[in-house]
Structure 1
Amino acid sequence: MDAAAPSAGGPLAGVRVIDLTSVVFGPYATQIMADMGADVIKVEPPDGDNTRWITTGPEAGMGGIYVNVNRGKKSVMLDLRREEDKAALRVLIATADVFIHSMRGKAIARLGFDYEAVRAIRPDIVYTNCYGYSRRGPEADKPAYDDTIQAECGIPYVQGLMNGEPGYVATIMADKVAGLHALYATMMALFHRERTGGRGKGEGQEVEVTMFEAMASFMLVEHANGAMFSPPTTPAHYHRAVEKNRRPYRTKDGYVAALVYNDKHWNAFVQAVRPDWASDEFATLAQRATQIGRVYGLLGETFLTRTTQEWMDTLTALHIPCSPLRTTDELFDNAQLNAIGFFEVIETQQGPTRLPGVPTWFSRTPGRVQGPAPRLGADNDAVLGSPATDRLGDA
């Protein structure tokens, strides 16, 4: 093979993941692992992952969310109330690099697959717990969903500061943010194992990732603001982000998003569009920041004077960040995404399926959509038969 050619399989080729997660938090993390070449074995109960049923698809049990976040995985159906199925899972664990689950702590312990039990089978395992709340606090084992975590970490509150009424963000943000935390935390633990001896010899460990703590960290990046200091200098919110006039600007025929924000962009806009604003009152970013609501209001009045395309032409020429307001459906026909081959069309038993692809690029070990999402229990024979037990020799 040419030394400059990319390697096949992705950066996680050869890594086996036993995935007992469901819904989106854990499956989003393991979907990315699968895209990057890991052998992800999704262990499902007889009723399957709930996301099989909560959105529509071309056949029952293959809803859109499930198909997207479980692509490229293998499905093994096990009833972990049965001893023979527990024994089958133990065989798989002996071949694994990662064990990841999203059950509450007491539930996984009752089944006999807490960290100590799994480590006894595979000492170098990376064992990732995906919880709503950390076991180290008073909310341990409290159930959690995206809506409740959004509320717990203040998202509806700051939306209310902006809109006058508390509201959720219209995406399952907590699930996806926590999923990304689960991904990087698991990869860091694998990296540590590699540095301490590698597969079979290195140091495994237990990892805990929680929705609430992940989202608290996420929200407080900017919203901690002056509340970090002693004494506090501001309430815990970033005033620009919650300003009621911070929204796409209405134009003559639609909407445009634009951020006329830093001094370079502001001065270019003033010179080209509103020379009457060239005053000491708005001269610096610091001055504009203290009266950001008024600035947004003035910009809103100005954007009403031209069409969306006229504004796009003007702002693009001035190198000011801008975009017309688009729908989520329009992402499937986006020129940028299509130019880079972002979407991958794969053949499935339900017909051609167009999946959003891997959003990261590697020069040597690129990831890709490895295959379709599996039907429930589709891989029981292949995984639990000789292919699984043969791998025990490598354990």
Structure 2
Amino acid sequence: MLFEEASPSAGLPLAGCRVVERSRTVAAAYAGRLLAAMGAQVVMLEPEAGSPLRQAPPLLEDTGESALFAYLCVGKRSLVCDPLTPEGQAVLARELDGADILIDDTPVRSRAAAGLDPESIHRRFASLVHVSVLPFGASGPKAHWDGEEVNLLHAGGEGFLLPNGLSHELFPDRPPLKIYGHFAGYQGGSTAVTCALAAWWAVPAAGGQYVDVSVQDAVLSVGAFALQRLGDGSLEHRTTRSFRYGGVFETLDGYLELLTLEDRQWGALVELLGRPAWAGEEALRDPLERSRRGAEINGHIREWMAAHRVEDIVRRAQELGVPAAKYRTPVEVSEGEHERARGLFAPALLESGEPVDVLMAPFQFRCTPLQRGGRVPALGEMAAEATA
């Protein structure tokens, strides 16, 4: 196999874990990305023309490289492999023979010909954790369906609930929306990672397992609360779904989101607003009464918010213990004091050699580090290095 002998990931949470990734979708690639961030050695098996994600927008203005691919694949390695050829089968077998986890989004209809069907994989590699990541899973009536981000977002129910709150009030005639970017893909990838690690942890007792991940199911789990409400006859909809009071507010110079769920947070909010007379009404001590009069309360809050600057509101809210956060631009996030203090971004190199900062992962560990930075792999770099 072509894994590097010297591992720069020593001391990281998944040091020594070897992963083979065959991905054409964000969900599978993101699963590999998170494993790489935790220190796993991740090898992408790409077709001769390269992963389609290499051409996925948005493209960087200076180099024309895919920003999405750069984020999803930094810290991985690349190896060209066509499993429909004898040579590709040999490469696939060699890589899987030394791997712990396989992340694969090959369509069900194409798996047998490529030797990637679960039965063949388990028969040949009994200790391998084989994680399938498909739009609607690899079993059931939709197993052969394709699905893009917009399909999965709506199939998972989130599209039915958007836009809501202030967005719906401002633009009541808008049709259902797709969340920007790859919300469904990231949910599917996160689910795949947790399933992969659970199965890998159980290998000593249970051997290798086949894990079937449905991106639709992963999105559906995000709206679990809306599903739970079906039990009491309540059907959530974008026209009615909102916090009873709180939500998104427009300030003097921006937007913020406010959420108060506990009595102590309500008391802190009243303090933030300067203890107005309307908030001192005895009936509003009852959280149920506050819920019933949410629209009235929001009217008062909006009036106050519109007269104050967002940074001043958020700073004071944090001092008082009011859950509030500003809606920030990407530049504000990447250059934010909080993000820099926590070391959320790390330098990396694009395939072209240009330096960029990338988010390492949406989590951190208290006792062990994450993989910082890395580089975006050139297509087939591992084979080229082996023959150099």
Scaled to the shorter chain, the TM-score interval is 0.7 to 0.9
1:204 aligned partner = 208
1:192-231 equivalence runs, <5 A: 192-194=202-204, 196=205, 203-220=207-224, 222-228=225-231
2:383 aligned partner = 380
Residue 114 of structure 2 is aligned to residue 111 of structure 1: yes
Residues 1:301 and 1:370: Cα distance change in structure 2 (over 3 Å): closer
1:259 aligned partner = 259
Residues 1:121 and 1:369: Cα distance change in structure 2 (over 3 Å): farther
Query: Per-residue deviation at 1:71?
Result: 1.1
- Letter matched to residue 338 of structure 2: Q
The share of aligned pairs that are identical, in percent, is: 22
Cα separation, 1, equivalents of 2:286 and 2:163? 29
SS across alignment from 1:100: strand
Q: Select the structure with the greater relative contact order (CA < 8 A; seq sep ≥ 6).
A: 1
1:85 aligned partner = 88
Number of positions where the alignment pairs a residue of Structure 1 with one of Structure 2: 368
- Letter matched to residue 97 of structure 1: D
1:178 aligned partner = 188
Query: Per-residue deviation at 1:280?
Result: 3.3
2:347 aligned partner = 345
Residues 1:281 and 1:183: Cα distance change in structure 2 (over 3 Å): same
1:1-395 equivalence runs, <5 A: 8-55=10-57, 56-57=59-60, 58-59=62-63, 62-162=65-165, 163=168, 164=172, 165=174, 166-194=176-204, 196=205, 203-220=207-224, 222-228=225-231, 232-236=232-236, 241-242=241-242, 247-271=247-271, 272-348=274-350, 349-369=352-372, 371-382=374-385
Deviation digits for residues 319-344 of structure 1 (CA, Å, limit 9, x no counterpart): 21223331122111110110122211
Cα separation, 1, equivalents of 2:91 and 2:326? 53
> Unaligned 5+ residue runs, structure 1?
1-6, 197-201, 387-395
Contact 2:105–2:133 at 8 Å: present in 1 too? yes
CA RMSD of aligned residues (A): 2.6
Residues 1:18 and 1:306: Cα distance change in structure 2 (over 3 Å): closer
> What is the TM-score with the length of structure 2 in the denominator?
0.86
SS across alignment from 1:10: coil
Deviation digits for residues 3-43 of structure 1 (CA, Å, limit 9, x no counterpart): xxxx9341211111111012310111111111112111100
Query: Per-residue deviation at 1:213?
Result: 1.2
Between stretches 345-354 and 81-90, larger displacement belongs to: 345-354
Residues 1:313 and 1:48: Cα distance change in structure 2 (over 3 Å): closer
> Unaligned 5+ residue runs, structure 2?
1-8
Contact 2:358–2:373 at 8 Å: present in 1 too? no
- Letter matched to residue 190 of structure 2: L
Deviation digits for residues 356-395 of structure 1 (CA, Å, limit 9, x no counterpart): 1244333554221362120111112446x79xxxxxxxxx
Contact 2:256–2:325 at 8 Å: present in 1 too? yes
Cα separation, 2, equivalents of 1:225 and 1:293? 24
> What is the TM-score with the length of structure 1 in the denominator?
0.85
Contact 1:19–1:100 at 8 Å: present in 2 too? yes
Cα separation, 2, equivalents of 1:350 and 1:249? 42
Query: Per-residue deviation at 1:214?
Result: 1.3
Query: Per-residue deviation at 1:226?
Result: 2.6
